[in-house]
Structure 1
Amino acid sequence: MSSILTQPNLKNIIFDLGDVIIPIDLSAPLRNFAMLANMPEDDVRAIWNQHNIGMQYETGLIDDEAFRAHVRQLLNNRSNNPNTETADHWADEVIDTAWNTVLLELPVERVERIRQLKDRYRLFLLSNTSPIHIRQVNHILTELGQPTLEELFERVFYSYEVRLAKPSPEIYQHVLSEAGIAADETAFLDDNAANIRAAAELGITAVHVQPPLTIIDYLKDV
């Protein structure tokens, strides 16, 4: 595997966030909501998918308060177990904490590698994400003595702000247009195959980041 930095016309690098910069466990939030509600995880997943709560939140159709309200309403299992608090009484912090269990330990060396590239390339972030997650990632970065995402990158593009989500071609076109960059001078690193295909179809050099490799392997100096 060769470094993408070998490309002579490379001027811009766009990074995904989850499983590219910070490892994630996509099943963790629903697992934790199920435990809190004393419900089978499969039932919670079915409810979640039926109502498409996550995508509504990540595309800005609902805000923080509406997201939490939906969680309380949909997971309000009135269990016969007297030790189970019904979801309609969950505090904001309870919901936020469960939602943030998707975020695993952040390898600081990945952030440091991105920082090393700032003087040589224009760097951007493009993520399907939610405000609760972004606040938590920035909190983690600050605790590690690192810059926030908004400080680390020239521009950040969050799905909930642009009201679009990968792999829609429109979100990539939005980034290229807003940043004023050319597709053939740009690389994009993402862990999702569908996202990679969509970017590649627009002429972006799309790199599928797959374990055990990390962005450090794809961004080696040559």
Structure 2
Amino acid sequence: MAFFMMKQHQKMLEGIKNIIFDYGNVIFEIDFPRAQKAFEKLGIKNVESFFAHKGHSSLFDQFETGTISAAEFRDGIRKAADNDALSDQQIDDAWNALLIGVMDGNHELLLKLKEKYRTFLLSNINEIHLARVHQHLKEKFDLEGNEGFFEKIYYSHLVGKRKPSPEIFRQVLDENNLKAEETLFIDDSPQHLKPAAAMGIRTYLLTYPDSIRKVFEELL
């Protein structure tokens, strides 16, 4: 079985010169149920439809594309919880509950891959989460950010687009003169892979207990 998987991974990388990585649950571990439980404690009902891996309130899309501010996002959470007394800190703590940390060995692997491929980060993220991610990187790894691991980083709230919009994939390809057929995109969300695949980008769905370490370390 392991030999078969290695052959699959080798075939996946044939002709590949560029790799675009998602961040959450590809490099940095996240846990959606933790955030759902935290939102429930704030008083939000129907959290499965309000916030989940495969679907959520438009509030999150707006925040992840930078069309609303952190203050407006927090007001949206207060409205959803029907509780104007919720503090900024309570809301931020609940929202950040899903952030666990960088998976062991991923930074080292990314540096190895950067020597062989042009690597990019493409993440649906927002102002509050990015601040917490940077705090984690500083406290655990003494890093100021992710810039050392990639040629270029695309954070959705800073570029004004988010996956699965085809426009954000087109931007990454065009700005860096990448050929779709020479590019691999790795993400943990099937809905994000479809538009990339439609553009000719090779895609790989990363699902637990799979990891980028299992995919790449045996090939390096």
Shorter-chain TM-score above 0.5: yes
Secondary structure (helix, strand or coil) at the match of 1:188 reads strand
Q: Distance in 2 between matches of 1:208 and 1:51?
A: 24
Q: Provide TM-score, normalisation by structure 2.
A: 0.84
For the 8 Å contact 2:42–2:81, the answer to whether it is kept is: no
2:160 is aligned to 163
1:179 is aligned to 176
Tell me whether 1:200 sits opposite 2:175 in the alignment: no
Matches within 5 A, 1:76-87: 76=82, 87=83
1:87-140 alpha-carbon deviations (Å, 9 max, x no partner): 323222221111011112431311221122222221111111111111211221
CA-CA distance at 1:27 after TM superposition: 3.2
Q: Distance in 2 between matches of 1:75 and 1:179?
A: 43
For the 8 Å contact 1:183–1:202, the answer to whether it is kept is: yes
1:52-89 alpha-carbon deviations (Å, 9 max, x no partner): 2111111211011111122123312xxxxxxxxxx323
The residue type equivalent to 1:218 in the other structure is: V
Identity over the aligned pairs, expressed in percent? 35
1:218 is aligned to 215
Q: CA RMSD in A?
A: 2.3
User: Structure 1 regions of 5+ residues with no counterpart?
Assistant: 77-86
Which of 54, 63, 68 is matched with 1:62 structurally? 68
1:144-176 alpha-carbon deviations (Å, 9 max, x no partner): 215422332221111212222212211111111
1:21 is aligned to 27
For the 8 Å contact 1:4–1:218, the answer to whether it is kept is: no
Which of 94, 101, 110 is matched with 2:97 structurally? 101
Q: Distance in 1 between matches of 2:133 and 2:183?
A: 25
The residue type equivalent to 2:94 in the other structure is: A
Q: Distance in 2 between matches of 1:50 and 1:138?
A: 25
Tell me whether 1:74 sits opposite 2:80 in the alignment: yes
For the 8 Å contact 1:108–1:144, the answer to whether it is kept is: no
2:137 is aligned to 141
Q: State the structure with more CA Rg.
A: 1
User: Structure 2 regions of 5+ residues with no counterpart?
Assistant: none
Aligned residues: 209
